[in-house]
Amino acid sequence: MAEDIFSNHRVVGFDLETTGISITQSKIVQYGIIGSEINGEEIRVNSLVNPLIRIPENATKVHGITNEDVNKLPGFRAHIENITNLLTDSIVIGHNIKRYDWPILENEFLRCGKAIPKPHTIIDTLEIARKLKLTRPHKLEALCSNYGISLTNAHDAISDASATLLLLWKIMEENPMPFRKSLEELQIWSPSNIDKNEQALGPSINDLPIIDSNGRLRRSGENIILAFGRHKGRTLQEINKIDREYLIWIKRSNKELSDEIIEEINLILN
């Protein structure tokens, strides 16, 4: 059975909701951990976290968590012990976890001056979907839909973590051969071959909504991301700082930009 590679291990799905998509600046507002102990005992933790900064409106539109929801709650430091106990020595499964959720978690621990949890293994279902060349898009919602997994409350941490676990089991049933490897071999088989400019973005550029007629500009929270050229993966604010003339060219060369986008670019240039 493919599931044998997980025997004698705590296995948990893991997901975060945050204040944004920046790996270095985003703060956690919710985490979900769901799975089972070695003895089969259920693990289920779904907790809101006070990020100690304001949650941007665009982030709230994604996950529905408001400043009022967290203002009276403790900050991340109060959750460190619980998270460490659940993730250390565990097989941790997440979707886009290696590029997004885990780096953000690491930064939260570092801000508090605490040692980062050390899982036995991290398995990223996005990596596996790409390695197996599953039908695109590879967003969690789309993959769950393809496998008949209900995800009615997307962008709730525990719902996404639970759906990711189910997704992995479904993929394993359909593609058993890769999962007959050891956990160490599985990690080698599914490396992170990710474009460096995409790495800081969290979600893949291709998963972000298009906001112009040719797909060159994508919306990510409050930022506009460039999806082509030498600055692919950078925000327009970043491009303005390092290559202002290129940003001016982007504005002038695309004759079909909406007035709203042009105004947003003008604000950046000013």
What are the pLDDT digits (tens) for 13-29? Answer: 999 999 998 888 899 99
DSSP state of 134: P
Which pLDDT score, from 0 to 100, does residue 24 have?
86
How sure is the predictor about 196, in pLDDT bands with cuts at 50, 70 and 90? very low
Domains in the chain (CATH in brackets) are 2-190 (3.30.420.10), 209-269 (no CATH)
Q: How far is the C-alpha of 79 from the C-alpha of 46, rounded, in Å?
A: 11
What are the pLDDT digits (tens) for 198-249? Answer: 443 345 666 677 888 777 888 877 789 888 777 887 889 988 888 899 899 8
Q: What is the mean pLDDT of the chain?
A: 88
Number of H helices, E strands in the chain: 12, 7
Exposed (0-12), middle (13-18) or buried (19+): which is 20, by Cβ within 10 Å?
buried
* Residue partners of 247: CB distance under 8 A and separation at least 6: 236, 239, 240, 265, 268, 269
How sure is the predictor about 147, in pLDDT bands with cuts at 50, 70 and 90? very high
Q: How far is the C-alpha of 84 from the C-alpha of 89, rounded, in Å?
A: 9
Phi-psi domain of 184 (left: phi exceeds 0; alpha: psi -120 through 50; beta: other): alpha
pLDDT above 60 (res 192) = no
Q: How far is the C-alpha of 259 from the C-alpha of 270, rounded, in Å?
A: 16
259 or 81, higher pLDDT: 81
